[in-house]
């Protein structure tokens, strides 16, 4: 069986990996609509040093013979090594004209931080979701990523 050499190679690559010192940010979005119904969503994550933060938001609407039904939601998660601070929140606002969700997450350890924010909205037959993620370590330029996804529903 050749699992031992594979495990040894994986451990060697992990030990040599610069991931512990790297910073990254990425975002993604998707959406679709068909015959009065639609969905939209976006998500992102960021990591730097011993910090990480991720958020996502999703929304959907459907119109049928008896009316329109819509749903929206989001979430955030943050983590940091010992001594750091991590926070996340999610808030949904609604009124007769609009549904809106805002998810936030931030992790900070000294000058190193990661943060992500997703805003999703359903209003007037338009579904929108935008995510921004950012990571920063002192001495390096911050890395950022933004995705905006819009879906018209007719």
Distances (CA, A) of 117 to 46, 69, 81, 120: 10, 26, 21, 10
What pTM did the predictor assign?
A: 0.84
Q: Residue 14 pairs with which residues in a beta bridge?
A: none
Contacts of 103 (CB under 8 A, 6+ apart): 55, 56, 57, 74, 75, 76, 88, 89, 90, 117, 118
User: How high is the mean pLDDT of the chain?
Assistant: 88
Q: What percent of the chain has pLDDT over 90?
A: 80
pLDDT above 80 for 8: no
41-99, pLDDT tens digit by residue?
Answer: 999 999 999 999 999 999 999 999 999 999 999 999 999 988 899 999 999 999 999 99
Domain spans of the chain, in order of start: 19-152
């Amino acid at each position: 069986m050749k699992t031992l050499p594979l495990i040894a190679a994986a451990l060697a690559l992990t030990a040599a990996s610069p991931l512990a010192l790297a910073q990254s940010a990425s975002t993604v979005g998707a959406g679709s609509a068909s015959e009065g119904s639609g969905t939209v969503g976006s998500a992102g994550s960021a990591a730097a040093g011993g910090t990480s933060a991720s958020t996502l938001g999703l929304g959907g609407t459907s119109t049928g013979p008896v009316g329109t039904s819509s749903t929206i939601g989001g979430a955030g998660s943050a983590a940091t090594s010992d001594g750091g601070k991590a926070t996340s929140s999610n808030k949904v606002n609604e009124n007769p004209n609009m549904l809106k969700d805002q998810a936030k997450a931030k992790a900070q350890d000294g000058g190193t931080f990661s943060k992500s924010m997703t805003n999703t909205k359903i209003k007037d037959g338009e579904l929108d979701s935008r995510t921004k993620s950012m990571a920063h370590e002192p001495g390096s330029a911050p890395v950022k990523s933004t995705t905006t996804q819009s879906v018209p529903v007719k």
